[in-house]
Every structure is written in C-alpha cells, then in structure tokens.
Amino acid sequence: MAQFKVAVLPGDGIGPDITAEAVKVLGAVAARFGHGFVYTEALIGGAAIDAAGSPLPDETLSVCEASDAVLLGAIGGPKWDTTDPNGIRPEQGLLGIRKALGLYANLRPVRIFDALIDSSTVKPEVIRGVDIMIVRELTGGIYFGERGRVGDMAYDTETYHAFEVERIVRKACELARARGTSNVCSVDKANVLESSRLWREVAHKAVADYPDIELWDLLVDNCAMQLVKNPRQFDVVVMSNMFGDILSDEASMLSGSLGMLASASLGDGPGLYEPSHGSAPKYTGMDVANPTATVLSAALMLRYSFGLEEEAASIETAIERVLADGFRTKDIFEEGRELVGTSRMGDLVAERV
Ligand code: IPM
Ligand code: MN
C-alpha cells in the first residue's frame, strides 16, 4: 500500500470547514484504491498569529518540508486586518510558505461543468467547452519586490529576473504538451512596463526549445476583455504573479463561482494545494461554504504530487455527478436544485468516489 504524508493547514474563516471535506473525500479515495494518507495538521495565517505570534511558525514549515504535499484551506479575516506597514498579517503566512517552499508555478484550471453552464453570469454559448489552464508565476513580481513608505508616499516594486520568467514559461510549455495543445498565451503589459518587456523577450527565447508550441502575446487589459468576450480562444495562459491573481478571479466566474476554482502550486519540493478563493470570514463555521475548489485541489494533489491520475479523475467525475444530480451549495444555487451545506456536499462527493 502506498503511503503519502500530507500536511494540512486549515487556516482561518471557512478554511477548517473546506479542508475537512477534502480530507473526507481523500478518505474515500484511500478506501477505494487502497492508498494510505497520513495527515499532520499545522497552523498558518491568523490562527497561527493568535496561537504562536507568527503567521508562519517554524514548526509549520518543518511539517510541510517533511511532507509529500500540503493541503491548505484559506487565510485572513477582519480580525487581523491592519494598514500598519509594520503590522503582522495572515497573508504573510501564505506568501511566506509559497516563497519558502519555492512554489514558483501556480496552476489554476478553469473548466466548465456541464451542469453549471446556465448558472454562470456569462452566456452559455460563450462558455460551453471552456478549458483554460492559468499558469501564474507565484514567487516573484510585485508581491515580493521592495516596498515601503517615505513620508506620505508609498511604493511597491515589480521585479523579474530572466530565470524566473524562463522557468515559468517552460512550465507552461510542458503543461501545454501534456494537454496536447500548442496554444500558449503569454500575458504582459509590455507597452508600459520594462519588467513586461523583459518577460516578453525571455518568453520567446525560452519557447525556442519547444518547436511544437505557438506562443502568442497579449496585453493584460486586452486579456481581461477577451476572457469574457471569447474565452474558448485560450488554452494555456502564462503570466506574472499580480496579473495571475487578478485574471484568475475573473476567469473563475466563467465556471459560475470562485468556489469552483482549484489551484496547485509547484516547485521542486512538496507541492501546495489550495482553493483560489479567500477565507470568507462571514461564513465561518456556518456550513454554507462550497468545498468544491478545495476538493478539486486535493484531486490536483493526487495528479501532480503523487502521480495518481485515475484517483484524481475519480474525484473530478464524482463532482460532475453530484452537480448533474442537482445538488448545489449556496454560491451556485438556482431554483429547482437541492441546496446543500459544506459537509453534505463533501459526503455526496465521497459517496460517488
Ligand atoms: C490568492 C490570494 C492571495 C494572493 C492572497 C490571500 C495573499 O488572493 O491566492 O489568489 O493574492 O495570492
Ligand atoms: Mn487572489
């Protein structure tokens, strides 16, 4: 029996609720396929600030480093919000763990479940068949550049080194190959930003090693528009940390809800899997949050960290069937469907696995 060590970082707000459902569904996978998942829980974000005075305690990092993969819920909440430049914030835990584990590639697959095609705010004929892989650079750019305040002025810096652009573009090309597509779109703002001009230059050099890939450039403002105008033109889309943060939230709405958008963050060590949404503090402990993004993230963990493709697909198929059977959490609810809570949604998926 294969044994996999998984660090579980529930975090804040709805984080504990949604990670519990992912663990429940992994339990069903373990039972069906005969694998063993061994979980170690650790603190991150606001919960870690409260308990240990730091959003990313050393012990949490050690637990993650000793694991085969990390499953994370969500972090943050009004309790810890501050505009104090020296303040301690939950987000530092998330950014810190991404950096410490070297998770430079963030994959956010956007696909449309047939059963949800009418519940998107975008017309069915526009979104039918959409299947996009957003590849977001995750350990560079303005998120990690120099920032500060001088008197009543504040600044943040967008910095990219060629090697950071090269490795994320290569990752995008490899993902495109694995998906059987040649279509890779690189998003930048090269008409204004020097960092984007470097990005564009390096991207085209890197792709020279992939004669089967056709790399095309798109300015970020145009991309934001094209994503709702004609999303089917996209397959793999690669971009900087900040652009990826913004455009992935936008793209998630094609699938009906941010509650459906999973993510995988990959580097050279253990991968980290988390939903793309936040901690929705107002729904804490209310059993209303949609656990699907987290459950789908667990499927990505099986696929990318453990190489368990059939097991990953079994979760994705189970979710498709739950939706086809008419069950909906609050965020994707429509008249005539059955409204279910977080835990019931997890049960339904686990049963179908
Ligand atoms: C995300 C989140 C984070 C980010 C926040 C919570 C720091 O919005 O994962 O997209 O901006 O990366
Ligand atoms: Mn975000």
**Band of residue 209 on the pLDDT scale cut at 50, 70, 90:** very high
Structure confidence by residue, pLDDT tens digits, 11-66: 999 999 999 999 999 999 999 999 999 999 999 999 999 999 999 999 999 999 99
Cα(246) to centroid(ligand 2), Å: 6
Q: What is the pLDDT of residue 333?
A: 94
For residue 192, give both structure tokens.
């204004």
CA distances from 215 to 142, 205, 246 (A): 24, 11, 21
Structure confidence by residue, pLDDT tens digits, 70-125: 999 999 999 999 999 899 999 999 999 999 999 999 999 999 999 999 888 999 99
Sequence-distant (≥ 6) Cβ neighbours of residue 239 within 8 angstroms = 134, 135, 136, 137, 186, 187, 188, 220, 223, 247
Q: What is the pLDDT of residue 1?
A: 73
Superfamily covering domain 1-103+258-353: Isopropylmalate Dehydrogenase (3.40.718.10)
Contact 245 CB / ligand 1 (< 6 Å) = yes
Task: Delimit the domains of the chain by residue range.
Answer: 1-103+258-353, 120-255
Instruction: Report the chain's terminal Cα–Cα distance, integer Å.
Output: 19
Q: What is the pLDDT of residue 35?
A: 96
**Whether the domain at 1-103+258-353 and the domain at 120-255 fall into the same CATH topology:** yes
Q: How far apart are CA 237 and CA 118, in angstroms?
A: 25
Look up the pTM and report it. Answer: 0.97
Whether the per-residue pLDDT at 294 is higher than 80: the answer is yes
Sequence-distant (≥ 6) Cβ neighbours of residue 86 within 8 angstroms = none
Provide the residue type at 271 as one letter. Answer: G
Looking at every residue in the chain, the average pLDDT score rounds to 97
Whether the per-residue pLDDT at 204 is higher than 80: the answer is yes
Whether the per-residue pLDDT at 2 is higher than 90: the answer is no
Cα(244) to centroid(ligand 2), Å: 8
Ligand 1, atom 11: closest residue by C-alpha: 245
CATH code for residues 120-255: 3.40.718.10
Structure confidence by residue, pLDDT tens digits, 111-170: 999 999 988 899 999 999 999 999 999 999 999 999 999 999 999 999 999 999 999 999
